[in-house]
């Protein structure tokens, strides 16, 4: 594997948490008839690290993200999301967006999951509203965030009036409004065309560098993982296990069509295929 330059120094700003999974297993249903979705997964994510999880169908990726988000509990093992520093109210990030003491985990879904009854701006404001942030401040933060994802002026629109790529950017703005240190992404660009996806890779990378959160990014797309991640974690299917880990020592900004990424993607794809192939026998 070619290595052009070391990956950029991580700049955890004290709010980006580390994620530690220790021997995590998850079974849906009871012991006799249940389905084991995840089996003995141990995985550590550094504060501010961008980790891509790659796996075929049935690797339990949604279950894994639900566990980390705290929506579900593991059957065995432990999930820890640890923030070293405490969030500081009113602290300004480099993008000029004021922090409002948000904590927890943000998540992005394949189908933006924007609420159709709210305007785009109201969607972005919702997490702030749920935290009790006042109307004026909410509006200002939402405006800033929409500008940041290049959707300035689209605030009064309804989600269904936007294209798929614009919806994902709006969802990204809403996730950023949570001001969470951890961003979980569940195949967020899987339903987009290649041109849009490419641009959103740039957008996401720039936001990540800008705000320094920790990212766990699930995808079927190996090239996408190589384009974005500091590290690629390959998961097996049925049950989901960690099969291999690939560091991505490529300088940023990267291009998805660069030969280094193609080489790395080929290596990962080979291993992915051999993992998938075991199920055919």
Partner 1 sequence: MAGEPPRTTVDHGGTSPAGRTGANGVTQDGPMGNGNSAAPTAPSLDQALAGLDALDKVGRPAQGRLSRRLWRATWPKLIALALILLIWQLAVWAHWQPHILQTPSAVARQLWDLLGTSLFWQACWATAQQAAFGYVLVVIVGGIVGTSVARVPVLRAAIGSLITGMQTMPSVLWYPLGYMVFGQNWKAIVLMMVLGAAPAVANGFISGIDQVPPGLLRAGRILGARGVALERHVVLPAAFPSVLGGLKQGWAFAWHALMAGEFLIAINPLSLGGRTVNALTYGDYAVVVAMMIVIVFIGIMVDVAFTRVDTSVRRRYGLLDASAP
**What is the contact surface with partner 1 in residues (CB under 8 A)?**
66, 69, 71, 94-95, 104-107, 109, 111, 113, 115-118, 126-127, 129-131, 147-148, 150, 152-154, 156-163, 165-166, 169, 174, 178, 195-196, 198-199, 202-203, 205-206, 209-210, 252-253, 255
> Do 198 and 258 meet the contact criterion of CB atoms below 8 Å apart?
no
Chain centroid to CA 259: 25
Structure tokens at 266: 């080929």
Q: Report in angstroms how near the CB of residue 226 gets to partner 1 at its nearest.
A: 17
- Distance separating alpha carbons of residues 129 and 127, to the nearest angstrom: 5
Minimum distance of partner 1 from residue 152's CB (angstroms)? 4
Helices (H), the chain: 61-69, 120-130, 135-148, 164-177, 194-211, 222-228, 259-277
Write down the least CB distance from residue 129 to partner 1, Å.
8
Cβ at position 137, least distance to partner 1 in Å:
16
Closer by beta carbon to partner 1, 201 or else 241: 201
Nearer to partner 1 (CB atom), residue 43 or residue 256 = 256
C-alpha angle 152/202/247, rounded to 5°?
145
Q: How far is the CB of 250 from partner 1 (least distance, A)?
A: 14
Secondary structure in 3-state letters for 129-180: HHCCCCHHHHHHHHHHHHHHCCCCCCCCCCHHHCCHHHHHHHHHHHHHHCCC
Pick 1 or 251: Cβ nearer partner 1: 251
For residue 273, the 8-state DSSP code is: H
* Closest to partner 1 by CB, 85 or 153: 153
User: Which residue lies nearer to partner 1 by CB, 27 or 157?
Assistant: 157
| Shortest distance in whole angstroms from residue 136 CB to partner 1 | 20
Task: Considering the complex, state which of residue 152 and residue 247 has its C-beta at the smaller distance from partner 1.
Answer: 152
Q: Is-contact 225 193, C-beta < 8 A?
A: no
Q: How far is CA 187 from the centre of its chain?
A: 8
CA neighbor of 175 nearest in space, from 229, 97, 117: 97
Tell me how far, at minimum, the Cβ of 207 lies from partner 1, in Å: 8
Nearest to 197 by CA among 258, 251, 256, 262: 256
Nearer to partner 1, 131 or 220 (CB): 131
């Amino acid at each position: 594997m070619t290595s052009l330059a070391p990956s950029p120094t991580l700049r955890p700003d004290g709010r980006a948490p580390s994620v530690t999974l220790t021997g995590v297993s998850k079974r849906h249903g009871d012991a006799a008839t249940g389905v084991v979705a995840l089996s003995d997964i141990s995985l550590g994510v550094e504060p501010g690290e961008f980790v891509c999880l790659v796996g075929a169908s049935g690797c339990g990726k949604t279950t894994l993200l639900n566990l980390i988000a705290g929506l579900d509990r593991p059957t065995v093992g432990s999930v820890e999301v640890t923030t070293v520093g405490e969030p500081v109210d009113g602290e300004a990030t480099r993008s000029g967006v004021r922090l409002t003491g948000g904590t927890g985990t943000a998540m992005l879904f394949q189908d933006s999951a924007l609420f159709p009854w709210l305007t785009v701006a109201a969607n972005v404001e919702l997490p702030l509203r749920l935290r009790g942030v006042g109307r004026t401040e909410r509006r200002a933060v939402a405006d800033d965030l929409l500008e940041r994802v290049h959707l300035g002026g689209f605030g009064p629109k309804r989600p269904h009036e936007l294209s798929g790529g614009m919806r994902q950017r709006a969802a990204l703005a809403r996730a950023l409004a949570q001001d969470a240190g951890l961003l979980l992404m569940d195949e967020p660009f899987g339903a987009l065309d290649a041109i849009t996806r490419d641009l959103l890779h740039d957008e996401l990378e720039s936001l990540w560098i800008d705000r320094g959160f920790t990212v766990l990014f699930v995808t079927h797309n190996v090239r996408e993982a190589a384009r974005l991640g500091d590290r690629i974690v390959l998961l097996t299917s049925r049950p989901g296990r960690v099969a291999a880990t690939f560091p991505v020592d490529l300088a940023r900004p990267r291009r998805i069509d660069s030969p280094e990424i193609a080489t790395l993607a080929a290596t990962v794809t080979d291993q992915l295929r051999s993992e998938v192939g075991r199920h055919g026998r």
